[in-house]
Amino acid sequence: MDHGLKALEAVLAIARRGSFRAAALDLGMSTTALSHSIARLEASLGVRLFNRTTRSVSLSDAGRAFVDRIAPAVAEIRSAMEVVQSHRQTPSGLLRINASVQAGREIAPLVMAFLRRYPDMHVDLVTEGRLVDIVAEGFDLGLRPADLVPRNMIALPLGKPQRYAVVASPDWVAANGLPLTPADLPLKDCLRVRLPNGALFRWTFERDGEAVQIEAQGRLTLDEAAIARTAVLDGVGIGFFIEQDVADDIAAGRLTRLLVNWTPPRPGFSLYYPGRRNPSAGFAAFLAMAREAAARAATIGR
C-alpha cells in the first residue's frame, strides 16, 4: 500500500491549497505525477479522498477524517527529521516562510544572502494577503507587521518601521485641492480596501496623540495594492498604501502625498515562529542571519 510520507505530504498539500496545480508547485512535482500518486493512494485505501470537478477540488468526508488523523503524525515525523538534521554541521534541506507581499519584499535580500551562504539549503517563500496559521499549514517562519503576530509565537523585529501614505494623482489634486486634515477628505473619492478576512479597512490617522479613523466610501473596492496604485495613478481617487508601495511614484512626481503629518511611523515587520526544542541546522542558521540583519539595522538607525 502506498502510504509513504510523500503520498501523505501530497494529501496535506492539496487539502491546504485546494488545488492540484498549486500543491504540485509547492511539492516540486508535475500535476500529472501528483494526480497519479493520489489515485494510487485512494485505490489502496478503497475510498475517495477528494471530490474533483473541472473547477474545484474539495475533501470528501473520508478525506477530511483522514487529514485530521494524519496531519499531527506527519508534523511529528517532520519534527523527528529536523532533530536528526540538527546534528549536521552544514545546514541543508527546505525552509518554508509565509509572508505578506510587502513583507516578502522586505525579507527577499536576506533570503538571497542565506542561499548564497548555504548552498545546500532551499527556501520556499510564499506571499499572500491572508494571515495563516503557520504551524497548521506547514511553514517554519512567518513575517508580518508586528501588531499582527500571534501572541503565542516568538517574534524577532526585522526591518525598519513602516508608514502609511495617502496619495492622489497630481491631476486629482489640481482639480480638488489639498486636504489639510482627515476631515477634509472627500470620502466618495477614497478607494475602499478589502482585508484578507473580508472586512473593509478603516483608514487610520494620528497626530499629536489624536487618533482618527475614517471609512472610505469610494465606488471602487480592491484587495490588491498593485491594482489600487494603478487606479490612483489613473486619477480614480485617493489611495491609502504602505509607504514602500508608492515611494517611487511619490519621488518621481507621479503621485502627490497627502496628510503627511497624520501618518506617523508604525511598527515594522517581525519574523515569528513557534518555540522549538530541536530546531534544524538550517532553521537556526536563518535565525542567526536574521538577528545579524536586525542588529545592523538597529545600529544604522541610531
CA distance 151 to 147: 10
| Long-range pairs, 37-43, Cβ under 8 A, ≥24 | 37/2, 37/6, 37/7, 37/10, 38/7, 38/10, 38/11, 38/14, 40/2, 40/7, 41/2, 41/3, 41/7, 41/10, 41/11
The grid cell for 200 is: 473593509
Angle at 155 between CA 133 and CA 263, to 5 degrees: 95
Chain-centroid distance of CA 211 in Å reads 28
- Its pTM surpasses 0.75: no
What was the pLDDT predicted at 75?
83
What was the pLDDT predicted at 103?
87
Domains of the chain: 5-85 (1.10.10.10), 93-160+268-301 (3.40.190.10), 164-262 (3.40.190.290)
CA distance 22 to 28: 10
Distances (CA, A) of 162 to 89, 144, 147, 207, 243: 37, 12, 12, 16, 7
DSSP line for 59-116 = E-HHHHHHHHHHHHHHHHHHHHHHHHHTT-SS--EEEEEEE-HHHHHHHHHHHHHHHH
Bridge-partner residues for 166, per DSSP? 240, 258
The one-letter amino acid code at 91 reads P
Distances (CA, A) of 49 to 59, 121, 244: 6, 33, 44
On the CB side of 66, how many CA atoms lie within 13 Å of its CA?
Answer: 22
93: phi then psi, degrees, rounded to nearest 5? 110, -160
- Spell out the per-residue pLDDT of the chain, length 302, in tens: 345 788 899 999 999 888 898 888 888 888 898 988 999 999 989 999 999 887 788 999 999 999 999 988 888 887 777 666 655 567 888 999 999 888 898 899 999 999 999 999 999 999 887 788 888 888 999 998 887 888 889 999 887 777 889 999 999 999 999 999 999 999 999 999 887 767 888 999 999 888 899 999 999 999 888 899 999 999 999 999 988 889 999 999 999 999 999 998 877 889 999 886 667 888 989 999 999 988 876 665 54
CA distance 10 to 70: 12
What was the pLDDT predicted at 83?
66
DSSP line for 137-176 = TT-SEEEEEGGGS-TTSEEEEESPPB-EEEEE-HHHHHHH
113: phi then psi, degrees, rounded to nearest 5? -65, -40
CA distance 63 to 10: 12
